[in-house]
Amino acid sequence: MKTIDMRYFAFLTDRLKGDVKDVSSAGDVEQLRVKYLGRKGLLSKASQNFKLIEEPDDRRFYGRGFSEFKKFATSVIEELQAKYQDEKRIDKVDLTLPGRRDFSGGLHPLTQVLEEIIDIFRGMGFTVETGPEAETVYYNFDALNTPHWHPARDLTDTFYLDIPGDDKLNWLLRTETSPVQIRVMERKRPPIRIIAPGRTYRKDKPDATHSPVFMQVEGLYVDKGVTFADLKGTVVAFYRALFGPETDSRFRPHFFPFTEPSAEVDVSCLFCRGEGCRVCKGSGWLEMGGSGMVDPNVLEGVGIDPEVYSGWAFGLGIERIAMLKYGIEDIRLFYENDIRFLEQFD
Amino acid sequence: MKISYNWLREFVDFLQSPEELAELLTRIGLNVDAIEEVGAQWRGVVVGKVLACESLPGSAYLKLCQVDAGTGEKLPIICGAPNIAPGQIVPVALVGAELPGGFKVGERTLRGVLSRGMICSEKELGIGEDAEGILALEDPPPTPPCNSRGGEIPFKIGAPLEEYVGLKDWVFDIEVTINRGDCLSHLGVAREVSAATGPELKLPPVDLEEIDEQTADKVTVEILAPDRCPRYSARMVKGVTIGPSPLWMRERLRSVGIRPIANVVDVTNYALMELGHPLHAFDYDLVSEGKIIVRTAGEGERFITLDEEEHTLTSTDLLIADPEKPVALAGVMGGLNSGIKADTSEVLLECAYFNPVGIRLTSRDRAIGSESSYRFERGVDPEMTIFAVNRSAYLIRQLTGGEVLKGIVDNYPQPWRPRKINLRPGRVNALLATDIEPAEMTGYLQALGCGVDIKPSPPPETGVGIREKATIKVTTPSWRHDLEREIDLVEEVARLHGYDRIGVADTSAVPLSVDTEREQSRRLVQRFKGALVELGLHEAINFSLVPGTDSERFPDGRQPVILKNPLSEDMSRLRTSLGPSLLRAAERSLRAGCADIRLFEWGKCFRMEEGQAAEGYKLAGVIAGTVRPSSWIEKARPFNIHDMKGMIEQLSSKISLDKVNYIYYDIPEYLKIGGCIAIGEGDGQRIIGRFGQMQPAVSDQFGLDLPVWYFEMDGGRLLGLAGAVPHYRPLPRYPAALRDLSFIIDEDLSADRLEEVIRKFGGELLEGVELFDLFRGKGIPPDKKSLAYHLTFRSAERTLSDSEIDQSVGAVIEAASRHLGAALRSQ
């Protein structure tokens, strides 16, 4: 007769507890199940010992041990199976599903372009200056040498403000950021090296290329011995920084009241590199903005002697640059703030 | 200004092709916007000769013609024109030709007879109104009498039509700047081309062959306003026959944008386009006593111009009158009562010089403009009147068979005098960074028509300034009103020397830029914007011009600045708040299908303050929709007031606003619930903004029928208060102890009161208080709520003992009970 160790199940319990510590995958769980609960497993073997026990009390005792252990082992293994089933599920994650995102905001494209322009000028030693948008005729026209007959002064071109008691129409919305130049030159003596970005207003009906409210940046440099060649040098360097090192600039004579000699600045077309395309209307050049040597009358007006000092100024439209840069064909989109539009520049 | 390439060549012999010429003009400041090829609209139309012409069998009026169109065979063409005849030279549209208007010519069979082409009328060619008969061409072709190359135009059967009529041309659309009125003509542009390229300027012919009768016997001119009209020249042509101008003149006018009318009027327009000097032709019989009086209008005087508009005049308007009535609004437009009629036989030609300012005022105040006023406003050449009136008389004689009376009545009370300007060559080179010789400068100026005289300078002056070897004494020509100062001449030298020949200075070594207060503000604004972008908002930039209804729909209590001359009611004032425009943008995006709105703007707002327009920056935002985007993983919940406040709290901390607190009274009308954002305490407290949920009645007005959240802050105050530099606190060396406390308090008691008591009585060991649960319902009496807090205790010097913490917690519980009646919630 075979000796049956009645403590066998206590031993199995300890062994199982030990084995559980080594389990680290669903595969290990399966091995454990086969070892204890499998057809040829330890529990199956233990059941064969039943018939060898003769004492009824012993049989009962053995039976209770058997069923308790079976219950314990089953629950431990099911628990492990449940635990490692997650692992199997993770193996099946579909990563082609879209990720979970939060709202993302963005700066307006005009702000982005303006910041880029300011950065370039900061690097060239310019400081940002600002001024009021509701201006006087003096700063917007008179001090900038605009002839009294110039059509820009007309009610058809410029917005005037309805200020009680101001019958002479002294107040207007600035038509360019140049009044800032006057305000700075009144306050400071040369050397002056500033840029003035900001909103400007002209009485143009809104259409694809016109907007009554728009943004400009103007640069001003006044010092002893400043020349037209300095103007060209800065403008060429600026547009290369903005549009790429292969960008050419062209200066052609023009007329602006506050500069003389004056020049309109063109850059080689960004799209065809001067070959001629739809955007540049075949000319190979894109018109960018005005520039020139500060008119002696303007300097005299702010008490800077034009025989001692000279300077240059130049301006450009932010919308125009942004339209070229992003391929936008309607200026009105900038001011409609349709989120579907804004999102494209995040 | 439209300039014809061929026409220009009558004034100056240049060699440039149209493209090269356009390049040249652009380089000297006459920007060519476009080049249009004239004659291109007639591809497939040639000159043909009618060889034979017989009635088409079975038709009353159709004729079958045999036509030689230079194709090597006789073309059978059926034609219905009554004036067709054998031997005529005619325009023939060959099969495949396309006529202006898009009509394609093909083979056709009429009554069994094949027709291979079409003989064209003026109307079919788009060059006239005559559709009655075919256009019979002259043989040999006429040449413009002005053409210096007269008779050179090639002509053979089969040639393209535009070559026969001399219409192969290119028209430049030139942008003439406002200071260069002298370039508003072919002569003016030719003068620039001549100066830039070398060949001399040629003037067109004016052989008048006057008759004995004197203009002065028939015409008198009296100028009562010599300041307004410094010169008036008049001439007479009699025996004219009014009729259409020849084809060459009509086509030439048309090519530069002038509609041909009838010969005499066409001539004055032709001379205008040619010389840039406006002329007016009166029917002499309609000018009483042949007497011209130049006078200012009486107040309220009425006058009907040629375009049949009636004007009420004032004393700033200048009139050409006869003793009985006004006959023209000087320099702007003739009168309906005295213009050329179909039966006019005697023509009084006027060519005057009017003061630009006066013409500008009339043109502006009467809202009337013309080719004539456009030029007078910019200043025409006062010395040109005689030549212009002669040129017109010459052309009228050529075209109408009229006879030119002897002499001119020329009243010139204020003769033009040239300006004298000194130009210092050293000054030119100093400004341009060039090395141009004085002789080269005088060459440029002479080419432009200036008189020059070089004077050696006296010995060098002391002090600042450029030492000049010489001074150029310049006298300006009569057509250049823009040359007034030395700097104007510097520009002329630079222009003709070539801007592209001026150097490009090296900018690699630049001065440092100084960091100003404005720079710091700009960086702070970048931080505000960056913080809002991080919070998921998009920056908007709206018009600062807004409709008048905004102040009623969005009552912010601010007095708006109103425009005197708005474009429309929609843009009639400056915004007092960023809100309305943001709400409009939100509505637009929602309508376009966006479910979530998160917009902000940083921009200027305006208001009337003590009778003046004041302006300042504001920061505002509009939010509607959910707190995060809905996705397949989770449905997002709607944004609520606590999200709004959280956003303000996060923004405040991101931009380093110190001592932020909130006030929940005194919120603006447009908010349903919300609060004010305040900085500081007591007397130093400053309200910097507001946030909350919009009144549905307000957002409804902007078409938004969902909850809308809004915040607004004052830019100036933000810039003054934000951006504090964080002060470092040492990291704790001893562990913190955490205790959770759950209080039951009255529903009406606000959470901040409880938190205040906890902080106050928690002692100096209490480091942090954080609300982690708000509960109403089961186990909590009605009218009560439960608030649960994490309390963190810490000492910088030691690890705290349980008894120390218990003591503090006990104090908090006791104080909450005593001051607020708060009970501890049982666990």
How confident is residue B426, by pLDDT bands cut at 50, 70 and 90?
A: very high
Helix (H) / strand (E) element for B52: namely strand B45-55
pLDDT in tens, B656-695: 888 888 988 888 889 999 999 998 888 888 899 999 999 9
Question: Does any domain span residue A232?
Answer: yes
- Distance between A251 CA and the closest CA of chain B, angstroms: 6
Contact B29 A253 (CB under 8 A): yes
| A127-128 vs A192-201, strand pairing mode | parallel
Q: What pLDDT does residue B755 have?
A: 93
| Facing residue for A232 by CB, picked from B504, B561, B604 | B504
Is residue B537 a contact partner of residue B650, using CB atoms and an 8 Å limit? no
- Distance between A281 CA and the closest CA of chain B, angstroms: 9
Q: What pLDDT does residue A340 have?
A: 93
- CA separation for the pair B717, B713 (Å, rounded): 8
Nearest to B474 by CA among B496, B447, B442: B442
pLDDT in tens, B196-252: 998 999 999 888 889 999 999 999 999 999 999 999 999 999 999 999 998 888 888
Query: What is residue A266's three-state secondary structure?
Result: strand
Per DSSP, chain B holds a count of helices (H) and strands (E) of 22, 38
Query: In angstroms, what CA-CA distances link B523 with A117, A120, B520, B599, B655?
Result: 15, 15, 5, 21, 11
Examine the domain organization and report whether A20 and A161 are in the same domain: no
Q: What is the number of domains present in chain A? A: 2
- Does A321 score more than 50 pLDDT? yes
Percent share of chain A, pLDDT over 90: 60
Contact B538 A129 (CB under 8 A): no
Least confident of B244-253, B287-296, B546-555, B558-567: B244-253
- CA separation for the pair B263, B248 (Å, rounded): 12
Examine the domain organization and report whether A129 and A209 are in the same domain: yes
Interface test with B, best of A136, A189, A342 (most B CBs within 10 A): A342
User: What average pLDDT does range A51-78 have in this prediction?
Assistant: 84
- With beta carbons under 8 A apart, name residues in chain A contacting B606: 133-134
Strand partners, A160: A172
pLDDT in tens, B722-735: 888 888 888 989 99
Examine the domain organization and report whether A172 and A308 are in the same domain: yes
Where among A91, A121, A136 does a domain terminate?
A91
Is residue B563 a contact partner of residue B545, using CB atoms and an 8 Å limit? yes
CA B769, B676, B698 angle in degrees (round to 5)?
130
pLDDT in tens, B303-352: 999 999 999 999 999 999 999 999 999 999 999 999 899 999 999 999 99
Would you call the peptide bond into A261 cis, given omega within 30 degrees of 0 as the criterion?
yes
Residue with tokens 């902080």: B759
Contact A262 B491 (CB under 8 A): yes
Furthest C-alpha separation in chain A: 131
- Distance between A83 CA and the closest CA of chain B, angstroms: 23
- With beta carbons under 8 A apart, name residues in chain A contacting B532: 105
- With beta carbons under 8 A apart, name residues in chain A contacting B26: 252
| A285-294 vs A259-268, strand pairing mode | antiparallel
How confident is residue A168, by pLDDT bands cut at 50, 70 and 90?
A: confident
The pair of structure tokens assigned to A216 is: 């400009």
DSSP result, B697-733 = HHHHHTT--S--EEEEEEHHHHHHHS-PPPPP-PPP-
- Does B148 score more than 60 pLDDT? no
Question: Does any domain span residue A100?
Answer: no
| Facing residue for A128 by CB, picked from B178, B522, B566 | B522
Where among A58, A91, A124 does a domain terminate?
A91
| Interface A-B: count of C-beta contacts within 8 A | 247
- CA separation for the pair A134, A196 (Å, rounded): 15
Query: In angstroms, what CA-CA distances link B356 with A150, B34, B359, B367, B406?
Result: 11, 29, 5, 16, 30
Is residue B30 a contact partner of residue B284, using CB atoms and an 8 Å limit? no
How confident is residue B149, by pLDDT bands cut at 50, 70 and 90?
A: very low
Contact B599 A234 (CB under 8 A): no
Examine the domain organization and report whether A52 and A115 are in the same domain: no
Contact B430 A227 (CB under 8 A): yes
Q: What is the mean pLDDT of chain B?
A: 90
Query: In angstroms, what CA-CA distances link A303 with A185, A291, B39, B65, B827?
Result: 8, 22, 58, 83, 81
Contact A155 B565 (CB under 8 A): yes
DSSP result, B251-290 = HHHHHTT-----HHHHHHHHHHHHHS---EEEEGGGSGGG
Question: Does any domain span residue A104?
Answer: no
Examine the domain organization and report whether A156 and A11 are in the same domain: no
- Distance between B644 CA and the closest CA of chain A, angstroms: 15
- Does B567 score more than 90 pLDDT? yes
Question: For chain B, first and last CA: distance in Å?
Answer: 91
Strand partners, B173: B2, B34
- Does B19 score more than 50 pLDDT? yes
Nearest to B199 by CA among B441, B15, B6: B15
Question: Does any domain span residue A98?
Answer: no
- CA separation for the pair B559, B612 (Å, rounded): 11
Question: For chain A, first and last CA: distance in Å?
Answer: 85
CA A136, A137, A138 angle in degrees (round to 5)?
85
Question: Does any domain span residue A292?
Answer: yes
Contact A337 B585 (CB under 8 A): yes
Examine the domain organization and report whether A191 and A229 are in the same domain: yes
Is residue A302 a contact partner of residue A311, using CB atoms and an 8 Å limit? no
Examine the domain organization and report whether A124 and A154 are in the same domain: yes
CATH number of domain containing A284: 3.30.930.10
Contact B491 A261 (CB under 8 A): yes
- Distance between A210 CA and the closest CA of chain B, angstroms: 13
How confident is residue B805, by pLDDT bands cut at 50, 70 and 90?
A: very high
| CA dihedral of A183, A189, A194, A199, whole degrees rounded to 10 | 0
Q: What pLDDT does residue B181 have?
A: 94
- Does B152 score more than 60 pLDDT? no
Query: What is residue B316's three-state secondary structure?
Result: coil
Least confident of A91-100, A302-311, B426-435: A91-100
| Facing residue for B536 by CB, picked from A104, A261, A338 | A104
Q: Which residues have C-beta within 8 Å of that of residue A183, sequence separation ≥ 6?
A: A129, A131, A139
- CA separation for the pair B675, B642 (Å, rounded): 11
Contact A199 B544 (CB under 8 A): yes
Query: What is residue A131's three-state secondary structure?
Result: coil
DSSP result, B748-793 = TS-HHHHHHHHHHHS-TTEEEEEEEEEE-STTS-TTEEEEEEEEEE
User: What average pLDDT does range B22-27 have in this prediction?
Assistant: 94
Contact A253 B606 (CB under 8 A): no
- With beta carbons under 8 A apart, name residues in chain A contacting B631: 98, 100-101
| CA dihedral of A106, A111, A117, A123, whole degrees rounded to 10 | -70
Q: What pLDDT does residue B147 have?
A: 42
Contact A159 B26 (CB under 8 A): no
Contact B505 A230 (CB under 8 A): yes
Is residue B512 a contact partner of residue A125, using CB atoms and an 8 Å limit? yes
Examine the domain organization and report whether A136 and A39 are in the same domain: no
The pair of structure tokens assigned to B311 is: 């004007």
Question: Does any domain span residue A96?
Answer: no
Nearest to B182 by CA among B451, B449, B378: B378
Helix (H) / strand (E) element for B311: namely strand B310-312
Q: What pLDDT does residue A58 have?
A: 81
Least confident of B26-40, B409-423, B465-479: B465-479
Q: How many CA atoms lie within 13 A of A98 on its CB side?
A: 9
Percent share of chain B, pLDDT over 70: 94
pLDDT in tens, A105-136: 999 999 999 999 999 999 899 999 999 999 99
Examine the domain organization and report whether A40 and A167 are in the same domain: no
Q: What pLDDT does residue A23 have?
A: 85
User: What average pLDDT does range B802-816 have in this prediction?
Assistant: 92
Q: What pLDDT does residue A69 have?
A: 87
- With beta carbons under 8 A apart, name residues in chain B contacting A340: 589, 592-594
Contact A97 B632 (CB under 8 A): yes
The pair of structure tokens assigned to B451 is: 């008189």
Examine the domain organization and report whether A82 and A196 are in the same domain: no
Question: Does any domain span residue A288?
Answer: yes
| CA dihedral of B490, B494, B497, B502, whole degrees rounded to 10 | 130
Question: Does any domain span residue A101?
Answer: no
Give the structural domain span for A27: 2-91
Examine the domain organization and report whether A54 and A117 are in the same domain: no
- Distance between A140 CA and the closest CA of chain B, angstroms: 16
Contact A111 B541 (CB under 8 A): yes
- Does A45 score more than 80 pLDDT? yes
Map B366-378 to HEC letters: CCCCCHHHHHHHH
Examine the domain organization and report whether A60 and A131 are in the same domain: no
Where among A91, A122, A148 does a domain terminate?
A91
Per DSSP, chain A holds a count of helices (H) and strands (E) of 12, 9
How confident is residue A199, by pLDDT bands cut at 50, 70 and 90?
A: very high
- Distance between B615 CA and the closest CA of chain A, angstroms: 7
Q: What pLDDT does residue A3 have?
A: 57
- Other C-beta atoms closer than 10 Å to the C-beta of B504 total 19
The pair of structure tokens assigned to A110 is: 């005009």
CA B639, B718, B665 angle in degrees (round to 5)?
55
